[in-house]
Amino acid sequence: MEFIKSYDAYADALFRHCYFRLYDRELAKDLVQSTYMKVWEYIASGKEVKNMRAFLYKVAHNMIIDEFRKNKGPTLSIDELKEKGIEPQDGLFEKLKSGAEVKNLLDIFNKLEPAHREVVIMRYVDELTPKEIAAITGESENVISVRLHRAMARAKEIIIK
């Protein structure tokens, strides 16, 4: 029952997470489906999941890494996403009023290091806590918090220039 509820609660957000990382709608859909299949197999084997949301993101994160290794990373830039009309539906982006603000934000986002972009997506698009991000990435909560702080400081530097 919890598994079915997790699909209703997290599938859309998980899709957005995968899409933001891979820039391929069909591949993101496939990864979400594969994520749920792996989690189902894990649960069916008698193992327990304490935090379903974090576990789903961890599995998806690992599958995204596998995809990057296989294909050497994403094939589109954030600008190309914007040109295709891709807009996240919630979180930070929902608060932006004009297309110019979105373009400026995406320009800043493109200038961040990949590790910083990853935690910014997880924190502000996926709305995960630093603790959940740490569980997903396998790094300490402190490392995630520092990385978020540095990413935001770097974004501020970019804005000021």
Model pTM score: 0.62
pLDDT tops 80 at residue 85: no
pLDDT tops 60 at residue 94: no
Domain boundaries, the chain: 1-75, 77-161
Q: What pLDDT is recorded for position 26? A: 92
pLDDT tops 50 at residue 49: yes
What dotted CATH number matches 77-161? 1.10.10.10
d(Cα 94, Cα 89) in Å, to the nearest integer?
Answer: 6
More confident site: 12 or 126: 12
Question: CA torsion angle for 124, 129, 130, 135 (degrees, to 10)?
Answer: -120
Q: What pLDDT is recorded for position 96? A: 44
Query: In which band, very low, low, confident or very high, does the pLDDT at 77 lie, cut at 50, 70 and 90?
Result: low
More confident site: 105 or 108: 108
Q: Are 105 and 96 in contact (CB under 8 A)?
A: yes
pLDDT tops 60 at residue 98: no
What dotted CATH number matches 1-75? 1.10.1740
